[in-house]
Amino acid sequence: MRFLNLLFLVFFLPNCFADNPTKQSCASVTEFTCQVASELRRGINLGNMLEAPREGSWGVRIDNDILEVVSREFSNVRVPIRWSNHASIGVDAKIDEDFANRVDQVIDTLLASNIYVIINVHHYSQLFGDNLHAGEYRVSPEVVEERLLSLWRQIANRYKNRSDKLIFELLNEPHGKIDSDRWNKLHQNIIKIVRDSNPTRIIMVGPMEWNSPRGLSKLGNLSDKNLIIQIHNYDPFEFTHQGVSYLPIKLPIGISCCSDAQRKTISDAFDTAQQWSKKNGYPIYLGEFGVSRQADVGSRGRYIAIVRDEAEKRGFGWSYWELASSFGVFDAEKKIWNESLRRFLLD
Ligand code: BGC
């Protein structure tokens, strides 16, 4: 009998886990989508590169070394892209072919390593009613929203034959003028357009309020079976965004992490996401979390370890914001990691 018990422990138990690799809630999606949600695992954002008004205008650009490093170390790479500023100003938003070729090159190099690649529409400032970035051009107000649909028609068509590992994320961080009513109609319309050319490709949709889990309760009109929900978590904000220059008020530097109260703000956000996911049956991916380089390195490492752990214990794949700029963990010129942070992301 003892022997049988032992046999059970050795052979049966590990198989239980092997058959159930994801803790994600997947009642509303296909088995394939559920599987992908569990395979996204760890990732990095190539931030401030292709979503700058022009590649390089925010100080960092994608090169072959970067593509090689990220595809070796990560199982997913999120590539934020500012298509709106590389397209004609009219309603048809014809995408500039040189820019699209550049994006093709980045996507195809990453896909060749068999990792997941998430592309999106990032920083279309006018859509949200935000101030434009330097170098971003204004279009006539009547065409702003329709241009987003035109962009997706072209993006979806251009990449319809790429591998299943290419994922479309419809819009980074809806906020401002894109309130819940508008977003719930808009994401449904974009999905219809994408589905004309990509009937089953995985699409990511995020909630209002800058993709915060707090916005999930207002996310509606979901019916597609190949959806993964993308959230962002920058709690505790005073810590993660200390000293950054682009906020209306510059937050003081010198805030450390992570006290019990700070840890709780992180786990509360994940609990909100997990509860929503269980209730609605869509799996979750953490597309952004990160901390400014101006925080002390010990706190940055502790923060990364905690967020990663909170995501992984719920089965959420994740992607750190970002590789080599003001939240970065890698020196793009010297091509070296910040070693004291690397291990928290990669070990
Ligand atoms: C924005 C970045 C910003 C980051 C952290 C991203 O979604 O696109 O511009 O640096 O969030 O605030």
Provide the pLDDT for residue 248.
93
Indicate which residue of 51, 136, 169, 173 is catalytic: 173
Provide the pLDDT for residue 8.
46
Q: Confirm or reject: Cβ of 212 under 6 Å from ligand 1.
A: no
Provide the pLDDT for residue 289.
98
Kindly give the number of the ligand 1 atom that is closest to the alpha carbon of 232: 7
Provide the pLDDT for residue 12.
44
Residue 173: active-site member: yes
| Contact between 184 and 221 (Cβ < 8 Å) | yes
d(CA 197, CA 306) in angstroms, rounded, equals 40
The number of C-alpha atoms within 13 Å of 9 and in the hemisphere containing its C-beta is 6
Kindly give the number of the ligand 1 atom that is closest to the alpha carbon of 241: 12
Q: Confirm or reject: Cβ of 274 under 6 Å from ligand 1.
A: no
Q: Cβ contacts of residue 69 below 8 Å, gap of 6+?
A: 330, 335
Residue with tokens 């209730």: 279
d(CA 188, CA 193) in angstroms, rounded, equals 9
Provide the pLDDT for residue 100.
98
Q: Confirm or reject: Cβ of 173 under 6 Å from ligand 1.
A: yes
Provide the pLDDT for residue 7.
47
Q: Residue 234 Cα, ligand 1 centroid: separation in angstroms?
A: 10
Provide the pLDDT for residue 84.
98
**Structure tokens, 96:** 């500039």
Q: The whole model's pTM is what?
A: 0.94
Provide the pLDDT for residue 23.
87
Q: Confirm or reject: Cβ of 288 under 6 Å from ligand 1.
A: yes
DSSP run (H or E) holding 42 = strand 42-45
Q: Confirm or reject: Cβ of 209 under 6 Å from ligand 1.
A: no
Q: Confirm or reject: Cβ of 321 under 6 Å from ligand 1.
A: yes
Provide the pLDDT for residue 18.
39
Q: Is 187 exposed, middle or buried (0-12, 13-18, 19+ CB in 10 A)?
A: buried
d(CA 112, CA 161) in angstroms, rounded, equals 14
Q: Residue 109 Cα, ligand 1 centroid: separation in angstroms?
A: 24
pLDDT < 70: residue spans in the chain: 1-22
Q: Residue 65 Cα, ligand 1 centroid: separation in angstroms?
A: 23
